Amino acid sequence: MARMVAERSDAIASLAEVFREHGYEGASLALIGKATGLGKGSLYHFFPKGKEEMVRAVLAEIDQWFEDSVYSPLREGTDANAAVTSMLDETTKYFRSGRRVCLVGALAVANTRDLFAQAIRGYFIAWVDALQSALVRQGRDVEQARLLSEDAVLAIQGAIVLSRALDDPAVFERAIGQLHKRLGVEANGIVVPATARPEGSITPFR
């Protein structure tokens, strides 16, 4: 049953799931209306520019969630190790151990990529930059922290794709477990100081 929609913000969660499941092109107004409980007139009342405006609203909501739950703690947290652990925990919950499509990643490889290029680029740059700042506070040099940050985001995105392709959330969970080790924060909460890690354990993976 569609949720009650009284204002524009009420429709965002339902819209996000429609676009995750069907993509930009496949998300027809009929599917959107069924998910939101809104007729065509109401949809255009809330989103005068149609599907493009709907996606932009969803992307803004996603960006705000990541800013509050992931980026800001990574950039500003006094305990860098706790911030990295929280990032891995929060993204695992957000992506439901790989069961949930990353809409930004899906848009990045779709034909509509250029339409939302600024938001897509901003999402990935903000994530890499924020994680890099936490890894620098862990004690790593700037270049190494950058490479590890890029590889971590790449690993998470790749794990989502592979776990969904194989219909096996354990794939995602194993990838997150490996990231705990590579980023220096063990899944059981034991922190491995950056200066104490063996050389091989901090080499960015490609």
Q: What is the pTM of this model?
A: 0.86
pLDDT tens, residue order, the chain (206 aa): 445 566 889 999 999 999 999 999 999 999 999 999 999 999 999 999 999 999 999 999 999 999 999 999 999 999 999 999 999 999 999 999 999 999 999 999 999 899 999 999 999 999 999 999 999 999 999 999 999 999 999 999 999 999 999 999 999 999 999 999 999 876 544 454 544 443 333 333 33
CATH architecture designation of domain 8-189: Orthogonal Bundle (1.10)
Handedness of CA 175, 87, 110, 5 (dihedral sign): positive
CB atoms within 10 A of CB 60: 12
Write out the DSSP string of 78-116. S-HHHHHHHHHHHHHHHTGGGTS--HHHHHHTSTTGGGG
Write out the DSSP string of 59-73. HHHHHHHHIIIIIHH
Q: Where are the domains of the chain?
A: 8-189
Element (H, E) at 33: helix 29-36
